[in-house]
Amino acid sequence: MKKSSKQTPQILRGIVKKSNKSKGFYVDDLKYDSQYKLGKKELFKAMPGDLVEFSLTEKGWAKILKVKEENTKEFIGKIFKRGQRLYTSPLGYEYDLKILIREPLQKTAKDGGIGKFTMHKQPSVDALPEANMTYLFDQDNEFNLAYEMSVTNHQLRRDWPKAVINESKQLKEKKFDIDSVVDLRNKTFVTIDGKSSKDFDDAVLGEKDEQGNLILYVAIADVGRYIDKGSCLDQEALERGTSVYFSQRVIPMLPEVLSNDLCSLKPNEDRFCLVCKTTVDREGNLSGTSFFEAIINSKSRLTYGTVTREVERKQFKKPYDHSLRILIEIYNRLKSNRSQRGSLELDVPTFIPKVENQKISKFVDSPREISHMMIEEFMLAANISAADLCLKFNIPSVFRVHPKPDILKVKILEEFLRSRKINASLGDGSDIKKLTALAHIAKDRKDKNIIHSQILYSMSLATYESEIGGHYALNYDSYSHFTSPIRRYPDLLVHRVIKSLIHANNGAVTIANKKQINNPIYTFDELEELAKDCSTKERVAEKAEREALSHLKCAFAAEHVGETFDGQIIGVTNFGLFVLLKGINIEGLCHIKYLPRKEFYVFDEHSKMLQSNSSRHSYSLGDEVKATIDKVEVFSKKIDLRLLK
């Protein structure tokens, strides 16, 4: 923490935060990127997250003068009793804050309960803060608790404003001009989705023309037909930015009348679509690509499991048997092209809860079957085509940009690989084919998952941009998100751009028949702001999903305290080892001070290893160990392990 200097203004602004390294609090100064400690008495003036004005004491600590912005409106809290009164503290602040629960709702609350609260009175020097309890949780329903905590902590929007509800009610009566809409209802489109999916935003079809060329149709729900730019529905979709997916729950970007009905490509129902039609040659190259508005009638709602079984048996049901055989051939061509292109594919497990009788039995790796990979390749083909079209027309659009890795991360990866006797020379990291070759080398090694994980950690984050940029991992010069407008706002933006080209052309648009668009639907500056906002919303959604999943893992681990599991070290730091417990597939931390050998260990960052100074004994990434769950702090999301000798 920094102390004051003569150049620092007397009155500063900052956010009240809790330190991760100690039990104390500090103010994070907004202007000078400095942090100033807070004394205990100062916590009676503000809540964590509040924007405050503060001055500095003689010893350089912060003294809160005024709360400028109260950022705690609602929270999830644990209830505790002192005397005859009930109090609460936001989860994670149980030993730091004390908030009085107001009458009369406290009659339903009990000591140790978990509730949802809205702030009634902010803290002051003279009085405790007060809150109203709006909901008391059933602590046996961990799914609901994880969902509510994540939604509240990240202030996710889930209630629909009245104006949005009113607009939604009118959508079924909305009339459309269909002069330029191509009728494809006689074609055998199918949807392929997860077993529990309700929003079917893509349908596919494979055909072979008279010359023997393979033709791929990717039909995407025409969300832009129902949501007018600038409407209440549009503004709410932008505010959300994306759908957020939890275990057994979804917060949709669009109201269900759209996401699960009017725009969902249900079987045997007419639906408007935006279609990408492209020819796939023997090398997997795309040509003759066109985009047009259409109306389709999906002939079947298939699941990934169903398609995988039919592909493996080479037995396909009618009426989609002919199309599915061609789609498999198209997939093989696209997959081969991807390999030639050097696109990076990593095998890193993603564990999700397996639920039996509404209880988690363990966490399992989500399957990646051939049906998943087929749909992925078809969507990639449509996405790259959308980006290419907008580029050739030189019209402002939104691109999905994945920058090359930071050079420092590349060098750290090289050092780690050398410790594994892999002499990799990655240069500045700009050549994705070198990383792809590395991932391929590792596929038959015992430490494949460790190496693939380290490659993943070296990657930069992908973002939405109005400025054209390449997609590093896919090895595309340009790339857009086009295929999920029901759940991603950037896809809706790209749809509107392409639809504007179709309307200007009075029908199907291809790169060959391009016309100059004088008044694009969005300016570059507008899309720059929208893309930045969508990237931010995506990060918030991802963090909320991870937080909810972490809670479920901790709640499950709490039921197994004292039990011992085989494990694998998946993370090594200077403060301890992260271990994946096999069988249940959750991770925990064994702090360095609790390692079974009473020796002094030093962290080697290059090899990701803890090594004893005396015996040279070491713990490395990938090592097999036995670990016992010692303690779990569910609401702090901490799982403490002890290694066996």
Highest mean pLDDT among 420-429, 434-443, 542-551: 542-551
- Answer whether 80's CB lies under 8 Å from 86's CB: yes
Question: What residue ranges in 113-176 does DSSP mark as E strands?
Answer: 114-121, 130-136
User: Identical fold at 12-69 and 560-643?
Assistant: yes
- Sequence ranges of the domains in the chain: 12-69, 74-137, 178-403+462-548, 407-458, 560-643
Half-sphere exposure of 273 (CA within 13 A, CB side): 32
Q: What percent of the chain has pLDDT over 90?
A: 69
- Other Cβ atoms closer than 10 A to 313: 8
Residues contacting 293, CB < 8 A, separation 6+ = 180, 181, 182, 222, 225, 272, 273, 274, 275, 499, 502
Query: pLDDT confidence of 4, banded at 50, 70, 90?
Result: very low
In this predicted structure, what is the pLDDT of residue 104?
A: 53
Torsion of CA 610, 611, 617, 623, to 10 degrees: 30
Q: Which two tokens stand for residue 205?
A: 């079809």
Question: What residue ranges in 70-197 does DSSP mark as E strands?
Answer: 74-82, 85-90, 99-101, 114-121, 130-136, 182-183, 190-193
- Residues 350 and 352: their CA atoms lie apart, in Å, by 7
**Whether CATH 3.40.50.1000 fits 12-69:** no
CATH of domain 74-137: 2.40.50.140
Class of domain 560-643: mainly beta
Beta strands 130-136 and 270-280: pairing type?
Answer: unpaired
Amino acid identity for residue 201 in this structure: D
Average pLDDT over residues 226-252: 96
Per-residue pLDDT tens digits for 609-635: 999 988 889 999 999 999 999 999 998
Average pLDDT over residues 71-82: 89
Phi, psi of 553, rounded to the nearest 5 degrees: -65, -45
Residues contacting 530, CB < 8 A, separation 6+ = 238, 398, 466, 489, 490, 493, 522
Greater pLDDT, 643 or 11: 643
Q: Which letter does DSSP use for residue 484 in this model?
A: -
- Residues 254 and 224: their CA atoms lie apart, in Å, by 12
Lowest mean pLDDT among 79-88, 219-228, 524-533: 79-88
Q: What pTM does this model have?
A: 0.90
3-state DSSP of 396-426:
CCCEEEECCCCHHHHHHHHHHHHHCCCCCCC
What mean pLDDT, rounded, does the chain reach?
91
Beta strands 25-29 and 35-38: pairing type?
Answer: antiparallel
Give helix 489-504 / helix 232-240 axis angle, nearest 10°.
Answer: 140
Which ranges in 342-406 belong to alpha helices (H)? 370-392
Per-residue pLDDT tens digits for 501-550: 999 988 999 977 766 778 899 999 999 999 999 999 999 999 999 999 99
- Other Cβ atoms closer than 10 A to 274: 26
Residues contacting 106, CB < 8 A, separation 6+ = 86, 133
In this predicted structure, what is the pLDDT of residue 106?
A: 57
In this predicted structure, what is the pLDDT of residue 520?
A: 93
In the chain, what are the helix, strand and coil shares in percent, each to the nearest 5?
30, 30, 40
Burial of 470 (C-beta count, 10 Å sphere; 0-12/13-18/19+): middle
The residue among 176, 218, 183, 215 whose CA lies nearest residue 296 is 183
Per-residue pLDDT tens digits for 283-338: 999 999 999 999 999 999 999 999 999 999 988 888 999 999 999 999 999 999 99
In this predicted structure, what is the pLDDT of residue 2?
A: 52
The residues facing 191 across adjacent strands are: 301
Total residue count of the chain as it appears in this document: 645
